[in-house]
Amino acid sequence: MPRFGLGVWKTDNRTSRDSVAAAIKNGYLAIDTARQYGNEQGTGAGIKLGLEQAGLKRSDLFVTTKLYNGEQGDYDQVSKAFENQLKDLGLDYVDLYLMHWPVDKTYIESYHAMEKLYREGKVRAIGVSNFDNDRMEKLLEEAEIIPTVNQMEFNPTNQEHEILAFDQSHDIEMTAWSPLGGGESLTNPVIDALAKKYDRSAAQIILRWEWQRDIITVVKSTHEKRIIQNSQIFDFSLSDEDVQKINELDQGRRGLWYDDFQWHNPNGKVANGIDQWP
């Protein structure tokens, strides 16, 4: 899979269509969405438009979407949910189907349903998202197909060392969501100093760091200029010393997580209404 792409969390259908089309037109080959974002129709329209504008085929693009927490369950349930997603996306397959979050009561059963979708050829690969090591371990005991990726919140202040080490030891790739820390890492003084040193934007420094850390990245922007800028990270490299400087920014601080059947944010508050979350 392409190791760099566009994400569309927190964008409505119209904005998603425009940013997806702009990204494809400007060379992006991977698009990441989810049922929970409520923008699969817009994303699908953007894929169609972008491919036309770029003169590309569907098979040139890598499309990821995710199984919604509220639609987990047995095969009938999951396959119905998936078919609706395909319809909204206007596609006849997706390249990667991820379980969005491990909902404790249903994630094993739901994963088996996803394995069946994979065997039927409806999805080209399956994986998970937001899995801690305990849940991943349990999944690996039950799974027949090892998840290809675990998509986690990963950025300079949240580097998930233990999950990364565990997943890598099982050949599971990590993909970063919120690679810019929701924009927060952009104002970090260490990043700012590196931006000046390399004559790059703060976003480019962080995205290049993720690239050099071997993390697959999906970054969101709704502005074409930034969409272009974010992809221009392949003509420079950070020194090992500077990669290390960013490694040292880790505070193990997630913006959001799900545990004990509840959503949490950094203030310890339980977030209401899962629909607003990634």
Residues labelled catalytic: 37
Q: x/- site string to ligand A2P, residues 123 to 152, per CB under 6 A?
A: ------------------------------
Distance CA 231, CA 175 (A): 16
When asked if residue 157 is in the footprint of ligand A2P (CB under 6 A), the reply is no
Name residues whose C-beta falls within 8 Å of residue 196's C-beta, 6 or more positions apart in sequence: none
Give residue for tokens 């979350």. Answer: 277
Nearer to ligand A2P by C-beta: 133 or 229?
229
Nearer to ligand A2P by C-beta: 177 or 263?
177
Residue type, 89: L
Give the number of C-alpha atoms closer than 13 A to the C-alpha of residue 139, restricted to the C-beta side: 35
Angle at 216 between CA 210 and CA 218, to 5 degrees: 90
Determine the distance from the C-alpha atom of residue 144 to the mean position of all C-alpha atoms in its chain, rounded to a whole number. Answer: 23
When asked if residue 180 is in the footprint of ligand A2P (CB under 6 A), the reply is yes
Nearer to ligand A2P by C-beta: 130 or 178?
178
When asked if residue 220 is in the footprint of ligand A2P (CB under 6 A), the reply is yes
Determine which residue in the list 230, 233, 238, 242 makes contact with ligand A2P, applying CB under 6 A.
Answer: 230
Determine which residue in the list 85, 178, 188, 231 makes contact with ligand A2P, applying CB under 6 A.
Answer: 178
Determine which residue in the list 43, 85, 175, 221 makes contact with ligand A2P, applying CB under 6 A.
Answer: 221
Stretch touching ligand A2P by CB under 6 A, among 53-61, 134-142, 181-189, 257-265: 181-189
Nearer to ligand A2P by C-beta: 9 or 107?
9
Q: Distance between the two ends of the chain, CA-based, in angstroms?
A: 21
| Bridge partners of residue 5, in order along the sequence | 218
100 is in an annotated binding site: yes
> Smallest distance, Å, CB 75 to ligand A2P?
33
When asked if residue 233 is in the footprint of ligand A2P (CB under 6 A), the reply is no
Q: Which CB contacts under 8 angstroms, 24+ apart, belong to 226-231?
A: 227/6, 227/19, 227/22, 227/23, 227/26, 227/28, 228/26, 229/201, 229/203, 229/204, 230/203, 230/204, 231/4, 231/23, 231/26, 231/27, 231/28
> Smallest distance, Å, CB 60 to ligand A2P?
24
Stretch touching ligand A2P by CB under 6 A, among 20-28, 51-59, 76-84, 224-232: 224-232
When asked if residue 212 is in the footprint of ligand A2P (CB under 6 A), the reply is no
Distance CA 187, CA 192 (A): 7
For the record, the structure tokens of 114 come out as: 């996803």
Positions that interact with ligand A2P (CB under 6 A): 155, 178-183, 186, 201, 203, 219-223, 226, 229-230
